[in-house]
Amino acid sequence: MNFRTQIPIQKQQHNQVDYHSKVLLLGSCFVENIGDKLSYYKFQTLQNPFGILFHPLAIEALITDAINDKEFTEDDIFLHNELWHYFGAHSKLSSPSKEALLQKLSQQITATKEWLNSATHIVITLGTAWVYRYIETDIIVANCHKIPQKQFQKELLSVDAVIESLQAILVLLKEYNPKTQVIFTVSPVRHLKDGFVENTQSKAHLISAIHQVINKEQSHYFPSYEIMMDELRDYRFYVKDMLHPNETAIDYIWERFQNIWIADEALLTMKTITEIQKGLQHKPFNSKSEAHQVFLKKLELKKRAILEAFPHIIF
């Protein structure tokens, strides 16, 4: 007997991720779960250069600004709670120094442009269709930076509005980097601060819009949300907040992603890198013992073999 349903997903036949690929990851906190896995296995990645971005308009704005070489000035940033912030970035970029923030924004926008130009794959994970409009400037922000909510107007992006944003993203990417593959996914993290019904409505808008724009040539859909909601429909797959997937769930979704998007020829390298990573974390009882010295020599040989094949890898 089979006690659960499994979502059938066809393996990607072309343009898979290997150790020559460059993967840019943008979007919600779940994209960082996938990004952390790729980073652990030493794939070439850049992950959320402007921090976590939850909705499509924020991701569209970042891509547009990067391609257009946006230059940041003091007019773009503001002081709140003794920190300087930028409405288009996550608060992890915020700084007590406005000069430091402007420098950081400039560095990150340059890095984003470089990766948009060279990325073989761009993973975009959408978290919500709910957005906040800053009333003073009538601009939708990526992050409210703990400014009082009364200064914002909360809005739900319509399906058409999400479609328009995603189409703009795809047009920009196709013109700037025609060979890149875009992988859309919807975060399985539920935004229950919006409300239970409102979260479902939001996710539905995102999913409906994505399926209107994907073409299976340049853009694709990976069902991380559906895997979490259907295959892992049990609270034992969540952390204590009962909203975010736990390590077991992340490992499972990563395994499904790996089976579809990671090239078969990369799997042996991944296995060796896992052995190296575990070896680097190993703490011996006696660091001067002969057995440990033999272990270190074997570990070094594995590292050399990997670095000869892929010089860009850093342990």
Q: What is the pTM of this model?
A: 0.95
Give the span between the Cα atoms of 313 and 315, in whole angstroms: 7
User: How confident is the model at residue 4, as a pLDDT?
Assistant: 80
How does pLDDT run across 175-230, given as a tens digit for each residue?
Answer: 999 999 999 999 999 999 999 999 999 999 999 999 999 987 899 999 999 999 99
Across 67-91, average pLDDT: 97
* 69: β partners: none
Q: For residue 193, what are its two tokens? A: 């601060």
Chain-centre distance for alpha carbon 186: 11
Domain residues of the chain, as ranges?
A: 22-262, 265-315
How does pLDDT run across 205-220, given as a tens digit for each residue?
Answer: 999 999 999 987 899 9
How does pLDDT run across 269-302, given as a tens digit for each residue?
Answer: 999 999 999 999 988 888 889 888 888 899 999 9
Q: For the residues of 128-160, what is the DSSP string, one character each? A: -SEEEEETTTTEEES--TT--GGGEEEEEPPHH
Residue 120, classed as helix, strand or coil, is coil
How does pLDDT run across 27-51, given as a tens digit for each residue?
Answer: 998 999 999 999 999 999 999 999 9
Banded pLDDT at 258 (limits 50, 70, 90): very high
Single-letter amino acid, residue 86: Y
Banded pLDDT at 126 (limits 50, 70, 90): very high
Q: For residue 86, what are its two tokens? A: 């930028």
Q: For residue 306, what are its two tokens? A: 């990997």
With a cut of 80, say whether residue 2 has pLDDT above it: no
Burial of 45 (0-12, 13-18, 19+ CB in 10 A): buried
| CATH topology (fold) of 22-262 | Rossmann fold (3.40.50)
Residue 69, classed as helix, strand or coil, is coil
